[in-house]
Structures are given as structure tokens and as C-alpha cells.
Structure 1
Amino acid sequence: MELQDIDLNLLVVFNELLRQRKMSAVARTLGISQPAVSNALNRLRKLLDDDLFLRTSKGMIPTQLAGTLAGPITEALDVIHHSLNARATFDPLTSTRAFTVAMTDIGEIYLLPGLMERLGKLAPGVKISTVCIHGDSLKGAMESGCIDLAIGFLPGLTAGFFQRRLLSQQYVCIFRKGHPLGRRDMTLEAFAMADRVSISAEGTGHTRVDAAIQQAGVTRRSRLSVPHFAALGHILQSTDLIAVVPQAYAERALVLFNLVSAPCPVKISEISVNVFWHATRHREVGNQWLRNVISDRFAVCPIPEATMSPQGLVVNCRGE
């Protein structure tokens, strides 16, 4: 016999008869008529070729086959009932869950210290693993649940993704203390003559910096191109190279690497650093908790606001 041959409602009636032993009581419990209970029992008797329950002065007594089926059927229905009515919970104080978050190295430098400090107080057993952002592969990893959240300037994550704004960033120029540019204003002409490091962080919107510089008429190519920000401070502190970076990186790098910053003479639109999650994780309580922690710690916008765009839902601040 295959499962598709059995109406699950028949097993529900069977289970109630095991428990109450009276058709009238089963009918009241299930909210159906007594003839409907009798009809269900007759259908099940035909399917299993057994009487299943016998009438006695003490009520309906199960046959040997019914007694054999009682345990497995009761257990199976309990599992189904629990699964359908379960409400997932997440207790940060006791959880040992491991979350995977995609972010650039700027995100690691700027966000991770504060995030881990907060988690140490709220969820001491929770673990965070970060992964690099790699273009289209990020979408698939988030769709499959391999990555819980992504943080950064990621204009490629649109349809199928939710996002919440954390902060906006301007681009600034940074270079070592004592650099010749530090002795005069950072004009477009001075910028155009300087040797530059460009950062092409794959999968992020930072590649538009070079495009904006070219559109400003700066024809001199960068002398060095690196795929991330990790080594940038080390490079700048010992050379006359300059770099155009988000302000968040500059805030962390200036003191650490003895650098200075100046407004960038090239007009580059500010970037929005968002936290992203896939629609399949929108109602998942652990994911909700972590992105709320991140938003509470780093979001600068005080008023919840959510808007729907053709590309997907954009959630600003803490609104969901």
C-alpha cells in the first residue's frame, strides 16, 4: 500500500478512536458527525482488510492489527502535528549557532570589532564566519542558505533580496603623512599628477571609482591595482602612492598606518552600505535576530521606512 492510497483524515479518526474508544466522543472532538466517523472507519477497514475496532460494553476495542498500528500511527501524527504547529525560536543567550556573513575586507575592518563586542554580551555562544564577496556566486550561495547575510555596497543584489540601509559613505583620498600632497590643497590637477592605487573589489560597486576618475578627465592610469583593501595601508605608509577609499576605511586606517586624508576632488556619488538577506530567510528568526543586532549597532537612520522597488524590497533602517 502506498501513502497516496490513504486519506490522512482516516488515520486521524483511527487515532482518536484509539484514545477515546467511542464514536460519539470522536465526533465531538473532530467536529464531525457520528455517521462521518463510522464512514471513515469503514473505509479504513476496507483498505486494511481488518475490523480494527470491535464494539463491546466498554466501547470500541482495537483488534490485534489496530494495536500493532497504534504506536507508529500515533507517533507519526504527533510528528506531523508538531511540525505544522512549531514556531521556531532563537535564544541568543544559549544558542551555539554559526552564521556565515559575506562582506568585503572593509566590512571586516569597520564592522567586525563592534559586532563581535556586541555579540559577546548578547550571544556568547554564537559564532560568525565571514566569506569574501565573489560576484554572481554570492547570489547562489545566499539563495541556497550557505550565506545568511551580506554586508556592503552590493548593487548586484536586487530581485529576490531584501536590504536594510546601515550607513552612507563618501569617498576620500588618503596618503602617508609627509606626502607632497599634504602641503597644498588637493586640486584636480594635483590629484591627476599623483601615482595612485586602485582597488577592484570583485562583486562590489567600488569599481565605479576608476570610471568616475576617467570621466573627470584624469588620464593617468593607476600604478598599482589590488583586489581588496587588506594591504592598502601597508602600501600607502611607505610609498608616495595615494588611494580613493570609502570614509569608513579611512577612519580605521589613518591612525593605524600614520596616514592623512583629504576630500577627493573627483565627484563620486556616496555609497550606501546595506545588509542583505535572501527572501527565503526573511522570516527565519535567527536571521532576523542577527540583522537586527547589526542594524541596532550600525544603522544611522532613526526612522523605520520600507519601500518596494521593481528590483526588490528595500528596507531602510529597522523597518521590515
Structure 2
Amino acid sequence: MELSDIDLNLLVLFQRLMQERRVATVAEQMKMSQPGVSNALAKLRRRIGDPLFVRGPGGVVPTPFALRLAEPVSQALATLHAALNPVSGFDPLRAMRTMTIGMTDIGEVVFLPALLERLSREAPGVALNTVRNSSVNLSSEMATGRVDLAIGLLPQLKGGFYQRRLFDQRYVCLFRHGHPLEDAPLTLAAWREAEHLVVVSAGTGHGQVDEWLKRRGVWRQVRLTVPHFMSVGFILQRTDLIATVPERLALQLAIPFSLSLRALPLTLPAAPIHLLWHARAHQDEANRWLRGVVIDLFTDTGTQARKARSAQKKQ
């Protein structure tokens, strides 16, 4: 097949369908009627010789051939977009703009203090905006450029996205200084019998941990359930409740709220935390710069490199 046989708009439509999986949503985004989208898809099917999408629960499901086609099409469109919209360079010290990152409430505690500290030195004119990964359609928001980066466990972002693994999120037990468990062995029996504060955080890696415990029949005495992590430090500080939380969050909360953290008496699966960006922003210099800062600050290799640089300065 020759490139002249394919209308570029059909490839754009294909990419949107891969991201949204709903004809009505794509029709609205591309300012087309739903029959118009269906007719265009039928034309592309004839050209490609594959159904590409079939009906599924709540929308359409890509065929195996469409899944193989998604990444090269996304990269090709991103390259073309970058070529047609050249940039003159990005100088972080002079830049005046706002960049948006999708993250959870845990992410705001773990990532934002260090990230803002770095930006205040290296990019004082760059402001940050955050959105909840679970409250917006990240695929659409990133495809249109309204969200620049996303951080978290985000398996829904597949075709058309790049990703970089930052770290594996491990879990620890957190409780107040002076808690009865502080000077006693944290056995599985003691952990189960203590009163627990549980965060029900649907759509996040922490939610998967709770599902893992339920599937394996690990019972615990739940005294309080809350829908987010923002109140965890305040509650633990003044009660005898304990909480199972991500280690990096525990390290941030320990000193301000006078809390102790201990290794869990059972091994929970670690959640891989990724940095993700859309193919359309892959060549964008501002996006690339911000990605580099996040990677330097929060990957294990980035942490090691910073320690090495600090040691060299002291010599």
C-alpha cells in the first residue's frame, strides 16, 4: 500500500478512536456527525483490509491488527505535528507558562514539594497546575495538550503514549509515636488485630492493594474508612489507628505528624509508578525539559546521580 492511498484525516480518526473507544466522543472532538465517523471508518477498513474496531461494552474494541498499528501511527503523527509546528527552543530561566500534571493526592504530597523547589531555582516563571488522574479523561486531555504529563499507575494510557518507570511503590505500616505497637514486634496477628484506618482510593495502585488483601482472605479490623489520603496524618497523630500506606508518603508524613513507620508483616505487591506523556508532546522542548526534571528527582537512578553530584561538590 502506498501513502497516497491513505487520507491523513483517516489516520487521525483512527488515533482518536484508539484513545477514546467511543464513536460519539470522537465525532464531537473532530466536529463530525456520528454517521460521518462511521463512514470514514468504513473507508479506512476497506483501505487497510481489517475491521480495526468491533463493538464492545460501552463503545468499540480494537482488533489485534489495530493494536499493532496504534503505536507507529501515533509516532508518525507526532513527528509530522512537530515538523509542522517547529519550536525556537525552551529556556527554563526565561519561560513564562503554566504546565499541568495529572496525579493523585499521594502524588501531590510526594512529588510537588521537591518539584516546586527545583522549579523555583531553574524555572521561576513556570507555574504548575495539577488535576486528579481519576477525575478527568486523561487520554483526551493529554491528546489535546491540556495536560502535559501524568504520574501514577495508569494502565488505561496505552496507544499513543510514552512512559518511563520511576519507581516501584512499596507499602509500610504507619502509626503515631508512643503507639502500643512501637516497641513490640509487628507480627501478622498484631497487625490484623490493631484498629485500621483504610483509604478506599478507587482507580489507584493503593486500591489494588486492598483488592489483593481481600482476594487472599487477609482480614483486618477496620475502624475508619476515608476516600483520600489528605487526612491520614491528622487522624493517626491523635488516635491508636494504624494505616498501610505507600512508603514515600509515609516518609513525608512521619516528621510533620510525629509518626513511626514499620515494615509490614506480610509482603504486598509493589505498584509500578510511571511518568507518561502523549506522543504529540514527545518532541516538545518544554515537555521534554519537565520530564527530565521529574526523572532526575524521582527515579532511583536519578536519586543516585544526585547523591554522586553532591559528593563531588564536597570533595
**Same structural fold, with TM-score higher than 0.5 when normalized by the shorter chain:** yes
Q: What is the CA-CA distance between 1:136 and the residue it aligns to? A: 6.6
Distance 2:272 2:124 in 1: 30
Q: What corresponds to 2:208 in structure 1? A: 208
Q: What corresponds to 2:236 in structure 1? A: 236
Q: What corresponds to 2:254 in structure 1? A: 254
Identity of aligned residues (%): 45
2:100, 2:147 within 8 Å by CA — same for their partners in 1?
yes
- SS of equivalent residue, structure 2 residue 186: coil
- SS of equivalent residue, structure 1 residue 192: helix
Render the CA deviation track for 1:190-226: whole Å, top value 9, x for unaligned: 1111211222234322101212222443234522222
Q: Kindly tell me: are residues 185 and 262 of structure 1, through their superposed partners in 2, closer, same or farther at Cα, counting changes over 3 Å?
A: same
Q: What corresponds to 1:275 in structure 2? A: 275
Q: What corresponds to 1:299 in structure 2? A: 299
1:216, 1:266 within 8 Å by CA — same for their partners in 2?
no
2:209, 2:269 within 8 Å by CA — same for their partners in 1?
no
Q: Which amino acid is the alignment partner of residue 201 of structure 2?
A: A
- Name the stretch that deviates more: 132-141 or 96-105: 132-141
1:212, 1:267 within 8 Å by CA — same for their partners in 2?
no
TM-score, normalised by the number of residues in structure 1 = 0.64
Distance 2:100 2:280 in 1: 15
Distance 1:214 1:178 in 2: 30
Render the CA deviation track for 1:168-206: whole Å, top value 9, x for unaligned: 231000011122222321111111112112222343221
Return 5+ residue gaps in structure 1 as ranges: 1-82, 303-320
Q: What corresponds to 1:127 in structure 2? A: 127
Aligned length: 221
Q: What corresponds to 1:145 in structure 2? A: 145
Q: Which amino acid is the alignment partner of residue 260 of structure 1?
A: S
Which protein shows a greater Rg?
1
Distance 1:157 1:84 in 2: 25
Distance 1:156 1:180 in 2: 42
- SS of equivalent residue, structure 1 residue 167: strand
Distance 1:191 1:168 in 2: 23
- SS of equivalent residue, structure 2 residue 190: helix
Q: Which amino acid is the alignment partner of residue 94 of structure 2?
A: T
Q: What is the CA-CA distance between 1:84 and the residue it aligns to? A: 4.8
1:153, 1:205 within 8 Å by CA — same for their partners in 2?
yes
- SS of equivalent residue, structure 2 residue 130: strand
- Name the stretch that deviates more: 237-246 or 146-155: 146-155
* Ranges of 4+ aligned residues in structure 1 off by more than 4 Å: none
Q: What corresponds to 2:184 in structure 1? A: 184
Q: Kindly tell me: are residues 210 and 86 of structure 1, through their superposed partners in 2, closer, same or farther at Cα, counting changes over 3 Å?
A: closer
Q: What is the CA-CA distance between 1:138 and the residue it aligns to? A: 2.2
Q: Kindly tell me: are residues 142 and 269 of structure 1, through their superposed partners in 2, closer, same or farther at Cα, counting changes over 3 Å?
A: same
- SS of equivalent residue, structure 1 residue 166: strand
Q: What is the CA-CA distance between 1:268 and the residue it aligns to? A: 0.9
- SS of equivalent residue, structure 1 residue 239: coil
Return 5+ residue gaps in structure 2 as ranges: 1-82, 303-315
Distance 1:205 1:127 in 2: 27
Render the CA deviation track for 1:138-192: whole Å, top value 9, x for unaligned: 2222222211111123333233221112222310000111222223211111111
2:197, 2:223 within 8 Å by CA — same for their partners in 1?
yes
Give me the CA root mean square deviation.
Answer: 2.2
Q: What is the CA-CA distance between 1:127 and the residue it aligns to? A: 0.8
1:174, 1:250 within 8 Å by CA — same for their partners in 2?
yes
TM-score, normalised by the number of residues in structure 2 = 0.65
Render the CA deviation track for 1:223-272: whole Å, top value 9, x for unaligned: 22222211100011111111111110111111111111111123211122
